[in-house]
Amino acid sequence: MRRAGLALLPLLLLLGCAAPPAAPEPPLPYPPSARERLLRVALAEWAEWGGITVAAGARPPSTRAESDPANFPRVLAYWRAVPEDEGAIALNRRRFAAALARQPGGEALWQDPYWSAAFISWLMQAAGVDRREFPPSAAHAAYVDALIRDAALFPATAPFLPRSPGEVPPQPGDLLCADRGRTPIQDWRQRAADAGRFRPMHCDIVVAAGPGWVDAIGGNVLDAVTRTRFPADASGYLLPAPPGAPVFFAILENRLGRLFPWRETTP
């Protein structure tokens, strides 16, 4: 009996390898309260960092607020929202201890690795959006890929839809995503050609918009949580980025609270 089981083992392993991957679980819809909470939390966090507001392309000096020991718990909370912190927590706990003791090294608190993707991940978690609908990550590229994939597999129920920057006017709750590489992509469809390879990105969350402007909040901007005003036309569509401003390749349209049963018809 034992020999028969051993003889079947290679076949079972082969069958296991040949089995198709399980279909992903469809995303669930969220009530309007999730979007409302997302915006409230983003605005509250921005206010607690000092309410810093800049114009797109402006280059004011860094606030260095991230290295203030009083802000240590804030950035720590962002990193705790992602499954892999790239060693950020252990490294910056040592820096925090050095800062408290006024020893060398404390001045570099939270200066690396960058925490902007952890901030967006924390916002979604704080709003009550589950990891299935928004996979938290220390890299913007990872969750951008996941949201694009969901939109392709589940176009009727995906919580976020990728749009080209000139396709729709950004609305509160949307994510504005820019490529920070040497040869930045111009459209989200180009991301598929990367086959999931890492690409430096940055995403902000839109918190307000009107004729001629779009305001978005992002983390690790001027070493703080900062609100940036981007130029738009009279209909709210983003205008070409001014010199020094990020060039967006995607607007991730936020559909939290806008799908059935909260809305009778899907877009």
pLDDT in tens, 219-262: 999 999 999 999 999 999 999 988 888 889 999 999 999 999 98
Closest CA to 143 of 114, 177, 169, 189: 177
Neighbours of 22 (CB within 10 A): 6
pLDDT at 21: 65
Per-residue model confidence as pLDDT tens digits over 133-184:
999 999 999 999 999 999 999 999 999 999 999 999 999 999 999 998 888 8
- In angstroms and rounded to an integer, the radius of gyration of the C-alpha atoms of the chain is 21
Say what the pLDDT of residue 10 is.
42
Question: What residues have CB less than 8 Å from 244, skipping those under 6 apart?
Answer: 57, 58, 59
Q: Per-residue confidence at 12, pLDDT binned at 50, 70, 90?
A: very low
188-193 long-range Cβ contacts below 8 angstroms, 24+ apart: 188/144, 188/148, 188/162, 188/163, 188/164, 188/249, 188/250, 190/249, 191/144, 191/145, 191/148, 191/249, 191/250, 192/148
| 104: exposed, middle or buried (Cβ count in 10 Å: 0-12, 13-18, 19+) | exposed
Measured distance CA(108)–CA(67) in Å, rounded: 6
The reported pTM is 0.89
What is the band of 28 on the pLDDT scale with cuts at 50, 70, 90?
very high
pLDDT number for residue 13: 42
**Alpha helices by DSSP H, the chain:** 2-18, 32-48, 72-80, 88-100, 116-126, 140-153
| Paired tokens of 237 | 């569509």
Distance CA 169, CA 236 (A): 5
Query: Are residues 173 and 254 in contact, defined by beta-carbon separation less than 8 angstroms?
Result: yes
Break the chain into its structural domains and give their ranges.
Answer: 29-254
Cβ pair 217, 208 in contact under 8 A: no
